[in-house]
């Protein structure tokens, strides 16, 4: 019985070790101008991509976005990275997004997942939820929540991909 248990542990461990990175889902989102775009237009372009899910009512989300915005230009120069900020605000909350983006001076692409289709495809509940994708559009790192300094861990993960 003990041997069978060890064998099962080994088999399941092997499955996870050799499963590889998970491709980012293909879902249509909206730009802030209302244009429909597929997220893979951004994630399958050969660049390292940070994807962060947020909402206007989420204070930790806004703190994370502000922190990343402070270092984003350096990351673009250093790592040729791109950042997608995907709001999960509903249609009413979405009306506040353009003014917030402008007032905060966020310099990255903002898309809307108002029906939470991408959120459901990625199977997470709480925000901020951040994913790091390699240059093949595969998820290589994810992080939930935000504490000051989390952006430095994210940068370490980005640097490891270069």
Vertex 107: Cα angle to 80 and 30 (nearest 5): 95
Distance CA 126, CA 50 (A): 17
Indicate whether 33 belongs to any domain. yes
In a domain, 104, yes or no: yes
Max distance between CA atoms of the chain, in angstroms, equals 63
Q: Residue range 56-78: average pLDDT?
A: 97
Q: What pTM value is reported for the model?
A: 0.85
How many folded domains does the chain comprise? Answer: 1
pLDDT-above-90 percentage for the chain: 85
Q: How confident is the model at residue 20 (pLDDT cuts 50, 70, 90)?
A: low
Is 1 among the domain residues?
Answer: no
Rounded to 10 deg, the angle between the 150-161 and 59-79 helix axes is 30
Domain presence at residue 13:
no
In terms of residue numbers, what domain contains 156? 23-161
The answer as to whether 3 is a domain residue is no
98-150 pLDDT, tens digit per residue, is 999 999 999 999 999 999 999 999 999 999 999 999 999 999 999 999 999 99
* Residue 39 resides in a domain: yes
In a domain, 7, yes or no: no
CATH number for 127: 3.40.30.10
Is 14 a member of any domain? no
């Amino acid at each position: 019985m003990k041997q069978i248990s060890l064998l099962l542990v080994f088999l399941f461990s092997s499955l996870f070790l050799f499963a590889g990175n998970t491709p980012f889902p293909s879902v249509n989102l909206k730009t802030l101008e209302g244009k429909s775009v597929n997220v893979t237009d951004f994630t399958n372009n050969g660049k390292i991509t940070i994807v962060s899910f947020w909402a206007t009512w989420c204070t930790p989300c806004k703190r994370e976005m502000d922190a990343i915005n402070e270092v984003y230009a350096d990351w673009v120069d250093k790592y040729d990275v791109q950042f997608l900020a995907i709001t999960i605000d509903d249609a009413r909350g979405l009306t506040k997004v353009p003014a917030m983006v402008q007032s905060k001076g966020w310099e990255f692409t903002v898309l809307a997942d108002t029906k939470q289709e991408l959120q459901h495809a990625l199977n997470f509940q709480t925000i901020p939820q951040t994913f790091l994708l390699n240059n093949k559009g595969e998820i290589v790192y994810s992080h939930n929540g935000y504490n000051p300094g989390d952006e430095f861990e994210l940068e370490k993960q980005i640097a490891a991909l270069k």
